[in-house]
């Protein structure tokens, strides 16, 4: 029995390795996280990202590295924002370490791109006790009703919106729910700020699901909210990601990355 189990494990181990090599040889890759049930992942998740940082000479087959460039609608804003807010952004960079580690761990469990962590800077400047005039509170600026629906206690001194881990779990649930509705991270960011109903109305009025086409039908605050996220993302990452792309841009990027035809 032991020998049989050992043979079985060896076979599947070799089979898995063979699949990885075949994937590399064929240029198979996934630039966008694959959403699964919380706590579960799929094999070959972000295979392209996993190999991207390695030297091409160290790979059995060359994987063409591509960069996620900024949409032309936001380039000017991002450059001006980073220049104007450099001191603030440097402060956030120095403060972000422990917060981002917690957020990344939670987001990984819920299948959310790690880059959505920058939303916490937009929302609260990484202040767990931040309180808005409307009553939104905590790292993720959750309103009492929304927080309660997501399983947080908000009454009295035990307001869990101020708890980093618990509020992040709630935010992850909400972001995941919004993505199920919209399938586009830019629309998710807009909906997080103004509510799903506002985004749906903008989609209807514009006749488009593309954020850059419908943005003028959104409140100015929501447009600025999304653009600030992109600016902060670019400051930290030096490029965009699936979190800064429309659904159509993300699809085109995946296709070009996997075929190795050209960079965006």
Count the alpha carbons within 13 Å of 218 in the hemisphere toward its beta carbon. Answer: 31
Mean pLDDT (whole number) for 45-70: 44
Measure the CA–CA gap between 55 and 76, rounded to whole angstroms. 33
| 110-123 confidence digits (pLDDT tens) | 999 999 999 999 99
In our burial notation (b when 16+ CB lie closer than 10 A, e otherwise), range 248-261 reads ebbeebbebbbeee
* Pairs from 133-140 (Cβ < 8 Å, separation ≥ 24): 137/161, 137/162, 138/162, 138/163, 138/167, 139/99, 139/164, 139/167, 139/168, 139/171, 140/167, 140/168, 140/170, 140/171
Residue limits of CATH 1.10.530.10 in the chain: 75-258
Mean pLDDT (whole number) for 30-49: 36
Fold of 75-258: Lysozyme (1.10.530)
Mean pLDDT for all residues in the chain: 80
CB 57 within 8 A of CB 250: no
pLDDT above 70 for 239: yes
How many whole angstroms from its chain centre is CA 223?
18
For 70, which DSSP code?
Answer: P
How many CB atoms sit inside 10 A of residue 52's CB?
Answer: 16
| 61-100 confidence digits (pLDDT tens) | 333 446 888 899 999 999 999 999 999 999 999 999 999 9
pLDDT above 50 for 44: no
Mean pLDDT (whole number) for 138-149: 96
Burial class (CB in 10 A: 0-12, 13-18, 19+), 231: buried
pLDDT above 70 for 22: no
Query: How much is the pLDDT for 216?
Result: 96
Query: How much is the pLDDT for 190?
Result: 98
CB 151 within 8 A of CB 140: no
Measure the CA–CA gap between 227 and 74, rounded to whole angstroms. 7
Question: Where is pLDDT greater, at 256 or 51?
Answer: 256
Q: Which of 68, 14, 9 is nearest to 246 (CA)?
A: 68
Query: How much is the pLDDT for 259?
Result: 64
Q: pLDDT band at 260, cuts 50/70/90?
A: low
Q: pLDDT band at 34, cuts 50/70/90?
A: very low
| 151-178 confidence digits (pLDDT tens) | 999 987 789 999 999 999 999 999 999 9
Q: Is 137 helix (H, G, I), strand (E, B) or coil?
A: strand
Measure the CA–CA gap between 184 and 208, rounded to whole angstroms. 12
């Amino acid at each position: 029995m032991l020998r049989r189990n050992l043979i079985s494990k060896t076979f599947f181990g070799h089979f898995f390795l063979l699949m990885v090599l075949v994937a590399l040889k064929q240029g198979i890759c996934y630039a966008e996280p694959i959403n699964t049930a919380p706590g579960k992942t799929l094999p070959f998740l972000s295979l392209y990202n996993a190999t991207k940082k390695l030297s091409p000479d160290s790979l059995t087959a060359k994987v063409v590295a591509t960069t996620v460039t900024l949409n032309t609608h936001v380039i000017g804003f991002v450059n001006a924002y980073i220049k104007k807010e450099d001191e603030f952004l440097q402060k956030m960079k120095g403060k972000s370490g422990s917060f981002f580690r917690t957020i990344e761990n939670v987001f990984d469990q819920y299948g959310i791109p790690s880059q959505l962590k920058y939303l916490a800077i937009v929302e609260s400047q990484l202040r767990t006790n931040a309180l808005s005039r409307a009553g939104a509170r905590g790292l993720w600026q959750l309103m009492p009703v929304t927080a309660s629906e997501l399983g947080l206690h908000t009454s009295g001194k035990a307001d869990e919106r101020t708890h980093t881990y618990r509020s992040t779990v709630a935010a992850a649930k909400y972001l995941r729910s919004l993505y199920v509705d919209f399938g586009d991270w830019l629309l998710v960011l807009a909906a997080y700020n103004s509510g799903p109903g506002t985004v749906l109305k903008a989609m209807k009025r514009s006749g488009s699901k593309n954020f850059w086409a419908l943005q003028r039908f959104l409140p100015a605050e929501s447009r600025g909210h999304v653009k600030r996220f992109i600016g902060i993302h670019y400051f930290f990452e030096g490029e965009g990601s699936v979190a800064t792309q429309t659904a159509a841009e993300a699809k085109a990027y995946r296709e070009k990355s996997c075929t190795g035809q050209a960079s965006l």
